[in-house]
Copies of this chain bind each other. A is one copy, B any other.
């Protein structure tokens, strides 16, 4: 199981340590997304070199391909992808709505509410984005699949409604998500008890995190957090942010919600976000983040730097001998010029996607490391403001 310790506080911001069966993680932490059992373009050795301590896997994708029972037979997700660090799996709920509705995609899609998906009290019936086959996810099934994958942290199965849905929809949805959370907890407790009885060969413990929804309605969020907290789960997440609302609406909501979450438990803001979003989340007291943004942007040639964003395909870089970011120490910046990276990108060379991914993840992970250090020094607010100033307007707003 996991163990969370608070090491320092600075306003609402906090520095902590999350101990897992696969290593200790310093928080606040950014978790790279490894949808299909790989952080796209990177090998585990690359992630280790980057200092990533925890990676996210997608239950929906792994359930469909290669199948959770296959992963279980092959020794669990850690062993399957040869990743020695910690893993967190989402519950599949988000992808069921955004991909299962037949929209296709690479599993890193965001937005989109229910459409071809059939929801009931029992669970959610959806179509595979791969072959159109029908599947049913229930709270029990989502836990069963995640237990088979064997991540260190598993997430409750919830509904993630569009932020801007109306109050009545959010009320109904939240009530069901709360009933589902009870079913998730029961299934998880049973699975963990069975596993514990089977001895170490059955796998390491999985820690269930509850998810609080409630859209942009402060009272619904407060209710969701309070009811989830009463269940005394190992950790808690805010879901349903960055799903259609303006960034300022999200920042305001997170600043209000995070301090209401249990102090002594890790707090995870799901699917968020931009560097600005991360800094706002840390300021609010969030400990964990995940997002496809750095990896997806990398594959589209959008790079994050200490001076703001940069579009590597830009013609002005054709003869540029400098690195992506002179202040960056990643392999791509130590080794290659902007001219070369632009050339790779223009040629569609895979190496370019990988170097861009290395760089963007290095940026995100370094940002979190610096945030932790700033919290320890009691200077987070100054650090936060300084970074926002550095990034605006950026050398190449693209």
Q: How many residues of A contact B (CB 8 A)?
A: 37
Report if A44 contacts B (CB, 8 A). yes
Instruction: Return the chain B residue nearest A352 by Cβ.
Output: B38
When A321-B74, A339-B70, A343-B66 are in contact, do A40 and B349 touch as well, CB less than 8 Å? yes
Which one of B81, B346, B350 lies within 8 Å of A350 (CB-CB)?
A: B350
Q: Are B43 and A82 in contact (CB under 8 A)?
A: no
Q: Which of A10-18, A277-285, A329-337 contacts B (4 or more CB under 8 A)?
A: A329-337
A74: chain B residues at CB < 8 Å are: 319, 321, 337, 339-340
Report if A397 contacts B (CB, 8 A). no
Q: Are B44 and A335 in contact (CB under 8 A)?
A: yes
Q: Are B82 and A42 in contact (CB under 8 A)?
A: no
Q: In the complex this chain forms, how many copies of it are found?
A: 2
Chain A 8-43 interface 0/1 with B at a Cβ cutoff of 8 Å (1 = within): 000000000000000000000000000011101111
Shortest CB–CB separation between residue A358 and chain B, in angstroms?
9
A337: chain B residues at CB < 8 Å are: 74, 80
Q: Are A351 and B82 in contact (CB under 8 A)?
A: no
Report if A355 contacts B (CB, 8 A). yes
Report if A347 contacts B (CB, 8 A). yes
Which one of B37, B65, B331 lies within 8 Å of A340 (CB-CB)?
A: B37
A350: chain B residues at CB < 8 Å are: 40-41, 350, 353-354
Report if A182 contacts B (CB, 8 A). no
A37 to B41, CA, bound (A): 19
When A37-B340, A45-B331 are in contact, do A318 and B349 touch as well, CB less than 8 Å? no
Chain A 346-379 interface 0/1 with B at a Cβ cutoff of 8 Å (1 = within): 1101110111000000000000000000000000
A347: chain B residues at CB < 8 Å are: 36, 65
Shortest CB–CB separation between residue A348 and chain B, in angstroms?
9
Which residues from 67 to 114 on chain A have a C-beta closer than 8 Å to any C-beta of chain B? 70, 73-75, 80-82
29 contacts across the A-B interface (CB closer than 8 A): A36-B347, A37-B340, A37-B343, A38-B344, A38-B351, A40-B349, A40-B351, A41-B354, A42-B351, A43-B335, A43-B351, A43-B355, A45-B331, A65-B343, A65-B347, A66-B318, A66-B339, A70-B318, A70-B319, A74-B339, A75-B321, A80-B337, A80-B343, A81-B340, A82-B335, A82-B336, A82-B340, A350-B350, A350-B354
- Further contacts, 10 of them, CB under 8 A, given A65-B346, A82-B340: A37-B340, A38-B351, A40-B350, A40-B351, A42-B351, A43-B335, A45-B335, A66-B318, A70-B319, A74-B339
The interface of chain A, by Cβ under 8 A from chain B, is 36-38, 40-45, 65-66, 70, 73-75, 80-82, 318-319, 321, 331, 335-337, 339-340, 343-344, 346-347, 349-351, 353-355
